Amino acid sequence: MATQLKNLSDFSEAEIPSAAPFRFGIVVAEWNAAITNALYQGAHKSLLEHGALAENIVTYAVPGSFELTSGADLLLKKGKLDAIICLGCVIQGETRHFDFICNAVANGLTNVAVKYSKPVIFGVLTTDTQQQAVDRAGGKHGNKGVEGAVTAIKMAYLAETLNG
């Protein structure tokens, strides 16, 4: 979580293993496209900077954050991927829709991760305002896409280490 004390893009490089041996899927919501594209650019660039091969990164778009769960499930069912990064943005509105979508996506992605025993990373901004989303998609609080990529690398490494 971004705060005044923590930037989403601030990681110690010494703590991040190489992404070279791993295959990654990125599922990006099209809703709030300006924000989700910035998240995607941060995630993709970060994977490459940490050694991932471009041909080992597959990207698929889904209509909205709610569909991230299905997208992650379909990718893990279809391909040999080590981790999935799910990127979306849900901004609070006037109705309870925000609560239902955020809860469904968080639970859905957790269930997919457990189903496949693979890391499925929650890279979804759940903000009160558009400005908060901008601030977390490459703005003053960093980029949650970068955080998602680093988390995916670390979790893929953990899974490989534990599974031998």
Predicted local confidence at residue 95, as pLDDT: 78
Task: Please give the positions annotated as active site.
Answer: 97
Task: Out of 9-18, 55-64, 65-74, 107-116, pick the least confident.
Answer: 9-18
Predicted local confidence at residue 5, as pLDDT: 56
Q: For 80-129, how does the pLDDT look when each residue is reduced to its tens digit (9 = 90+)?
A: 999 999 999 999 977 778 889 999 999 999 999 999 999 999 999 999 99
Give the end-to-end CA distance of the chain in Å, rounded to a whole number: 31
**Does the CA dihedral 54-159-101-7 come out positive or negative?**
negative
d(CA 10, CA 115): 31
pTM: 0.92
Predicted local confidence at residue 3, as pLDDT: 57
Q: CB count, 10 Å around CB of 115?
A: 13
Q: Which CATH superfamily is domain 26-163 in?
A: Lumazine/riboflavin synthase (3.40.50.960)
Every domain of the chain and the residues it spans: 26-163
Q: CB count, 10 Å around CB of 16?
A: 17
Predicted local confidence at residue 164, as pLDDT: 75
